[in-house]
Chain A
């Protein structure tokens, strides 16, 4: 079963606009990560936020984490056509030998 669930399932925006993607999860976590996947390619790690962090930035990416609501958001500012991809959140639950569990992903289309 999926630990993280992304919302919306699909998002279509115009180049230059901001894209906001959300992720909710069910259990306590050590960290939450966002990955990107271009069609038919491997997943690429974007950013990791630990459970004791509330916000993190990396270039045009901003990630927030609200552990009380068990949710995270990924904001891509000033989107580009090249940002078109699927985005996955992944959670590492607390506990020994916990495994990184991925959501089903969000398909982002950025129109030029």
Chain B
């Protein structure tokens, strides 16, 4: 158990809908990362927050947004969902923002768009 908690574990939704994925980082970790894993794209970095502020942005679509709250939990919002958004979405956390990070992954949220 990494200490990173993600909910929901599985989600099935229709195209055009909006979903919110939630992440609770490990106790004491200030950085939260979101990754998307799909068969064709592999593991893609989406976005990183550090202590409530956006720190780095990766291949995150404009239809997606995220935030980190004062209690350090984070949410990833996916809107206008398309079939291609079906993937495993991981949250990860680390103590530091950069430099020699070990990041700890949650078990992921499986999103299926039908």
A residues adjacent to B (C-beta < 8 A) = 2, 30-31, 33, 35, 40-45, 48, 50, 88, 92, 96-105
Contacts and interface: CB of A to CB of B under 8 A. Distances in A.
B2 interface: yes
Given A2-B42, A104-B42, A105-B42, A42 B106 contact: yes
How extensive is the interface on chain B, given as a class? Answer: 20 to 34
23 contacts: A33-B102, A40-B88, A40-B110, A42-B2, A42-B108, A43-B43, A43-B90, A43-B105, A44-B2, A45-B103, A45-B104, A48-B100, A97-B55, A97-B97, A98-B98, A99-B33, A99-B58, A100-B33, A100-B45, A100-B101, A100-B103, A101-B45, A105-B43
Interface of B: 2, 4, 33, 35, 42-43, 45, 48, 55-56, 58, 88, 90, 92, 97-108, 110
